[in-house]
Amino acid sequence: MTARGFRSSGEYTPDNLFAGEFPSVQRMETIVGGKYKRGTVLGKITESGSYKICEKTDTDGSEKPVAILAEDIDAKLTEVKAAVYHAGEFNFNALIYGKSFDEDSIREAFQSSCAIFLRKNQEA
């Protein structure tokens, strides 16, 4: 309900993606290959420099997790420019990652490759 004299400009629903105060770094990157949600773990395709969901079984460079998608996008039919986090402290439980990963392997891959740190937020 909106108070008299005011108008609603939408709602904010926290998604619990961030897990701490480590500074986040985001850049606009080219995303390909599917419809992805905010929090999707991305790998970078070596040849094109584009990003897609990270799968250990891929062999195009994207098998190494290097970023986290900052917004919902649909890149099924064409590539899309979207905000991507290259650094930060994120809630593991809010991440979406490829089926070839499990909790231990995704943590290990991030620890060895970039400034993305994972932890589990306390449940309410």
DSSP result, 66-97: EEEE-S-EE-SSS-EEEEEEEEEEEEGGG-B-
Number of domains comprising the chain: 1
Q: Hey, what are 84's tokens? A: 């991507």
State how far the alpha carbon of 78 is from the alpha carbons of 46, 84, 99, 113, 114, in Å. 18, 17, 23, 28, 28
Answer yes or no: is 89 within a domain.
Answer: yes
Q: What is the pLDDT of residue 4?
A: 81
Half-sphere exposure of 70 (CA within 13 A, CB side): 16
Answer yes or no: is 102 within a domain.
Answer: yes
The range of the structural domain enclosing residue 114 comes to 25-119
Answer yes or no: is 52 within a domain.
Answer: yes
Q: What is the pLDDT of residue 15?
A: 82
Q: What is the pLDDT of residue 73?
A: 97
CATH code (residue 88)? 2.40.300.10
Q: What is the pLDDT of residue 9?
A: 76
Q: What is the pLDDT of residue 87?
A: 96
Answer yes or no: is 54 within a domain.
Answer: yes
pLDDT, tens digit only, all 124 positions of the chain: 667 878 877 777 778 999 988 999 999 999 999 999 999 999 999 999 999 999 999 999 999 999 999 999 999 999 999 999 999 999 999 999 999 998 899 989 888 878 999 999 876 5
